[in-house]
Amino acid sequence: MVWKSGITLIEPNHIVTRGYRQEDLIGSVPFASVFFLLIKGRLPDEREARMMDAIITSSVDHGTTPPSTHATRIVASAGVPLPTAVAAGILAVGDVHGGAIEDSARILQEWVKKMKKENWSYEQTARDLLNNLKSAGKYMPGFGHRIHTADPRTKKLFALADELGITGDHIRLTKAIEEEFAKTKALPVNVDGAIAAIISDMGFDWRLGKAFFLLGRCAGLIAHAYEEMTREKPMRRMCEQEVEYDGPWERDLAKNV
């Protein structure tokens, strides 16, 4: 069986990624731009390069409480290699942790297509989109946050997108949705929603939504695994007082088998 791939060619002393020799990329093209190249098959222009770097950086860390970081630290405390602990954290990047980027991007991309086809305004599209989700018993992902009412990462990412001329239909529709929410109750765009809108305006497939978060967060997970391994005692765990058993009380096995 032959494995085909268009990503990297390997020959003796010759390593070519998406058409570029790796020695030409190393030290000349920033890592975030090489990631863009790996995904898109072409190098970003200067604006795209800055935006891509900002997106990944905005995901690096959010303290010890998110499931990914929590899982990495717990596993790191059990006496395993650092990559094993980091991988455990990446496994927690799921539909409700980072997943809003994917879902939100999918919905935005679908409705921007409709909007353009039907020649709707952003306002009308936002209203229809929310009504449509509501009648299906769903909600719009990428809005609201447990802690932050005005997420500083969102504000900065949107400001950059404006400054770099990246802002397009998806960001505008996102802001229209935010305004539509505000008519009844403020539900501001969160960092997932901001990333979803920006990568959509940059032309990325929504199926890559979790990837941007995952790559940035990988940096934070490494830092947490290393802090756990070097600063804490092995085998971190909860005290028994934090646990409550609500299963059945003792049964007599002799009566059952």
What are the tokens at 13?
């002393």
How far apart are the C-alpha atoms of 162 and 168, rounded to whole Å?
A: 9
Q: Based on CB atoms, which residue is closest to its own copies, 125 or 151?
A: 151
For the bound state, the minimum distance from the C-beta of residue 217 to its own copies, rounded and expressed in Å, comes to: 10
Take residue 38 and report the two structure tokens written for it: 């790996």
Nearest to its own copies of 68, 125 (CB atom): 68
Kindly state the smallest distance separating residue 110's Cβ from its own copies, in Å: 18
Cα 12 versus chain centre, distance: 36
Q: Which is nearer to its own copies, 104 or 125 (CB)?
A: 104
State the minimum distance, in angstroms, from the CB of residue 209 to its own copies: 9
Q: Which is nearer to its own copies, 94 or 203 (CB)?
A: 94
Among the listed residues 256, 157, 175, the one whose alpha carbon sits nearest the alpha carbon of residue 213: 157
Least distance in Å: CB of 233 to its own copies? 10
> How far, in Å, CA of 207 to CA of 29, rounded?
25
Residue with tokens 């934070």: 220
Residue 124: CB minimum distance to its own copies, A: 31
DSSP secondary structure, 167-202, as one string:
--HHHHHHHHHHHHHHTTS---B-HHHHHHHHHHHT
Measured from the CB atom, the residue of 24 and 118 that comes closer to its own copies is 24
State how far the Cα of 69 lies from the Cα of 224, in Å rounded to an integer: 7
